[in-house]
Amino acid sequence: MAAKILDGKKVAEEIKTSLKEEVTRLKARGLTPGLAVVLVGEDPASKVYVKQKEKACEEVGFASQVYRLPEDTSEESLLQLINELNDDRAVHGILVQLPLPGHLDANQVIQAINPAKDVDGFHPFNVGRLAAGLAAPVPCTPRGIIHLLEAYNIPIAGRHAVVVGRSNIVGKPLAQLLLARDATVTVCHSKTGNLTSFTRTADILVAAVGRPRLITRDMVKLGAVVVDVGINRLPEGMVGDVDFEAVREVADYITPVPGGVGPLTIAMLLRNTLEAALAGQGGGPPGE
Ligand code: NAD
């Protein structure tokens, strides 16, 4: 029997509907959540993502500002903009779209963001808090994946989760979140030998690699839950890291691409921003 679809688009719409209601209540109290998005350069995929984020902010009633800076922006002027946004009381969340052009040091830029406004959860302060099990803004894609699993009542505790990919954006923070929910977690990466020997033992298999259809049917255990984070633009259209049609024959649950993890990522960015706005009222970094 073909796997059930984990419908990220539907779940994201539900989140946005409830956020919209919450924003209406907050606005009545004089608080409009504000997100500043900074895009440097002309990367076509980044431009699409920024547009989607801008549209989502509008949908739920946030005040969003997008700063589109030229490719040759200096680190100094980018850091200056971030400082201004850090000081701007109407801005609760700051997101610098990655990747940055090669002459800019993403680590420096991320560290310049006030951790309380770091709605991507990439600042080392927040990375450390997450690792220590403390409240922190959680990176949007991993948070979205957990939300999707929970929305479908998929148990995590005690199950073997295999995460393929160890990026700071997806793989590592997702491993932390799964661990915090009592999964047994294996993280695989480009230097993992015999990937199949790991993926075949996964109850929950997450592919966050960026290789079209890397995960084939023979790599998936019967009855597994398969989450495909990959976004690969091919001439025939967008595909994930999972060979969807073949893998859905063996999995119990599977996310489609598009319409799976992507919409949840944006919904979680909105939620992180709203939470930053609420925390900002009391002052201090999130969770304190
Ligand atoms: P990345 O390039 O930073 O990391 C890729 C990871 O895959 C690395 O850890 C690497 O070790 C591993 N890897 C590479 N080749 C491998 C192989 N053959 N076998 C096993 N592991 C291998 O990528 P990222 O930022 O984590 O993104 C991964 C994918 O997810 C990309 O396609 C990206 O576009 C997509 N993505 C989607 C969303 C979303 O919202 N849906 C969000 C973020 C990233």
- pLDDT of 139 > 80? The answer is yes
Asked if the structure places residue 270 within a domain, the reply is no
Q: Using 50, 70 and 90 to split pLDDT, how confident is the model at 284?
A: very low
Ligand 1 lined by 265 (C-beta under 6 Å): yes
Would the pLDDT of 288 be above 80? no
Average pLDDT over residues 92-121: 98
pLDDT given at position 282: 47
Ligand 1 mean position, distance from CA 12 (Å) = 22
pLDDT given for residue 1 in this prediction: 78
Domain count, the chain: 2
Whether pLDDT at 256 is above 50: yes
pLDDT at 286 over 50: no
Same domain, 146 and 259: yes
> Domain with 237 in it: what CATH number?
3.40.50.720
State whether 158 and 239 are in the same domain.
yes
Q: Whose CA is nearest to atom 31 of ligand 1?
A: 210
Q: What is the 3-state secondary structure (H, E, C) of the chain?
A: CCCEECCHHHHHHHHHHHHHHHHHHHHHCCCCCEEEEEEECCCHHHHHHHHHHHHHHHHHCCEEEEEEECCCCCHHHHHHHHHHHHHCCCCCEEEECCCCCCCCCHHHHHHHCCHHHECCCCCHHHHHHHHCCCCCCCCHHHHHHHHHHHHCCCCCCCCEEEEECCCCCCHHHHHHHHHHCCCEEEEECCCCCCHHHHHCCCCEEEECCCCCCCECHHHCCCCCEEEECCCEEECCEEECCECHHHHCCCCCEECCCCCCHHHHHHHHHHHHHHHHHHHHHHCCCCCC
| Residue 75 shares a structural domain with residue 161 | no
What are the tens digits of pLDDT across the range 7-58? 999 999 999 999 999 999 999 999 999 999 999 999 999 999 999 999 999 9
pLDDT of 287 over the 70 cut: no
CATH code of residue 47: 3.40.50.10860
Determine the structural domain holding residue 178 and report its residue range.
140-263
| Residue 10, in any domain of the structure | no
Q: Is 209 in the pocket of ligand 1 (CB under 6 A)?
A: yes
For 211-227, what is the mean pLDDT? Answer: 98
Of 166, 167, 232, best ligand 1 pocket probe by most atoms within 8 Å of the beta carbon: 167
What does the mean pLDDT of the chain come to? Answer: 96
Q: Is 53 a catalytic residue?
A: yes
Within a domain: 183: yes
pLDDT, greater one: 137 or 1: 137
Catalytic residue status for 47? no
